[in-house]
Amino acid sequence: MDKPTVTGPAAGPGVVGLFFGWKVIVSALLLLVYFSTPRIYNLFTYHYYTEFKSMTGSRSAAELPLRAAAPFSHWDGQNYLGLAEYGYDGFLLEAWAFYPLLPMLMRAGHVVVHSYFGAGMLVLSLAAFGFLWFYVRLGRELLPANGALLAALLVLCFPTAFFLATIYTEALFLCLLFGFLYFFEVRRSLVCLVFAFLLPLCRAQGFFLPVALIGYVAWQYWRGREALPPWRLVTLALVAFALGIGSCLLFYKVAVGDALAAFHAQQNYIFANRLSNLFAPLHFLRMMQTPSEEFFAYRCGIVDRGFIVLMLAAIPLVLRLRNRLWSMLYLVLAVVPALMGEAGSYARFALVAFPFVSFALVHWLAGQREWVFWLAAASAAVQGVFIYRFAVNLWVG
């Protein structure tokens, strides 16, 4: 299964129905909890539309959203909204850890909808739909009838999948990732270069994706496979990734005077993510053994470490798909974040790697679909708890 070739019908009504059904349910739950439960405020909430505007003396009163916008823009959403309006040199220093693609798209969208929040929700809704479309197109060749839609359903039931409906980068990153895979593996099209260029501008994980591509090519070459994509396409994809990384560094150099500002901000952030931890296995072991009584915590939370165990345990399952590029991508997206820091936000980071696990689960349980539905139901129940916490502004990830 090294070269998917989609020959079936286009991903159409099924994806549309799944997307809108999920979007309505998650949005309704966020709003219901928010308006029926007292909100919780803490030091890690900047209250972008109230306190921060007062501190900076902003006069853009037209930007004050309806209260209904709040449950979609807690936590990181505050940073993206602030970066979109004030820029990197006019907002909080710790916000430099958030990569520029989403704020730039929100600023561009503001010209059309005259609302940074509205622009963000529009961009990310389109991205979430794009992700599902590309994902189902890829899955139609691997999985039996309706298996691709079932895998997509399982992804949307993942405990942290509600982040795809909020002002976070998960939807945008997944759209770019699976758009790249679709045009790289299926279409063998140069369009994949656009996605490769944008991925490093979206999230830090985009910087590691070229490593997965190089590892895939090396593996295929070592095994003597004939399924290697054209060398020209591989080379151009690596160049596109390199240009994206270079553009991201150049952006930070121009915006704040430090090309490595994002890395420095991440090191100083509460999660203490460091590249050096990738080469310090004892750090990972100590982190996993650190006693903690908190289920949800900024560091070493029980829930985050539980997700690490589950995602590491899923590695053999993903390897059974026999798509080496997907395997390499999974290792980069699931293992690297687990090793770099103190498990902070890993439950959310796992969301961008889980689509590969979902493919593997549906493929493995092809003759026992009732188990997939039970897994989806159990996962959705946990997501309900996470949605409650996020809506009232409690930490999830």
Spatial CB neighbours of 62, under 8 Å, sequence gap ≥ 6: 114
> What does the buried/exposed string (b/e) look like for 25-64 if buried means 16 or more CB atoms within 10 Å of the residue's CB?
bbbebbbebbeeeebeeeeeebebbeebbeeeeeeeeebe
**Distance in angstroms (rounded) separating the CA atoms of residues 339 and 330:** 14
What is the CB neighbour count within 10 angstroms for residue 378?
12
Output the pLDDT for position 269. 73
Residue with token string 């890690």? 44
Structure-token pair, residue 4: 């998917």
Question: Alpha carbon of 18 to those of 121, 150, 366, 375: distances in Å?
Answer: 18, 10, 20, 17
* Closest to 143 measured CA to CA, from 361, 390, 339, 379: 361
Q: What is the DSSP string of 315-382?
A: HHHHHTT--HHHHHHHIIIIIHHHHHSSSTTHHHHGGGTHHHHHHHHHHHTTT-HHHHHHHHHHHHHH
Output the pLDDT for position 169. 97
Domain ranges of the chain: 13-391
Structure-token pair, residue 301: 């939370």
Q: What is the DSSP string of 93-146?
A: GGGGGS-SHHHHHHHHHHHHHS-HHHHHHHHHHHHHHHHHHHHHHHHHHHSSTT
Structure-token pair, residue 245: 């990384």
Spatial CB neighbours of 304, under 8 Å, sequence gap ≥ 6: 297, 343, 344, 345, 346, 347, 397
Output the pLDDT for position 6. 43
Class of residue 302 by CB neighbours under 10 A (exposed 0-12, middle 13-18, buried 19+): middle
Contact 68, 391 (CB under 8 A): no
Each residue's pLDDT, cut to its tens digit, for the chain (397 residues) gives 455 544 444 456 789 999 999 999 999 999 999 888 876 654 444 444 443 343 344 444 344 345 678 889 888 898 898 899 889 987 777 888 999 999 999 999 999 998 888 999 999 999 999 999 999 999 987 787 688 999 999 999 999 999 999 999 999 999 999 999 999 988 889 999 999 999 999 999 999 999 999 999 888 877 766 566 688 999 999 999 999 999 999 999 999 999 999 888 887 777 777 777 888 888 888 888 888 778 888 888 899 999 999 999 999 999 998 889 999 999 999 999 999 888 788 999 999 999 999 999 999 888 788 899 999 999 999 999 999 999 988 889 8
Output the pLDDT for position 67. 67
- Start-to-end Cα distance in the chain: 34
Among positive and negative, which fits the CA dihedral 381, 383, 387, 390? positive
Output the pLDDT for position 291. 84
pTM of the predicted structure, to 2 decimals: 0.91
Output the pLDDT for position 238. 97
**Distance in angstroms (rounded) separating the CA atoms of residues 118 and 122:** 6
Output the pLDDT for position 53. 45
* Closest to 50 measured CA to CA, from 27, 70, 77, 68: 70
Question: Alpha carbon of 235 to those of 241, 245, 275, 293, 370: distances in Å?
Answer: 10, 15, 26, 48, 43
Structure-token pair, residue 123: 């961009």
Output the pLDDT for position 5. 45
Question: Alpha carbon of 184 to those of 4, 101, 175: distances in Å?
Answer: 10, 22, 14
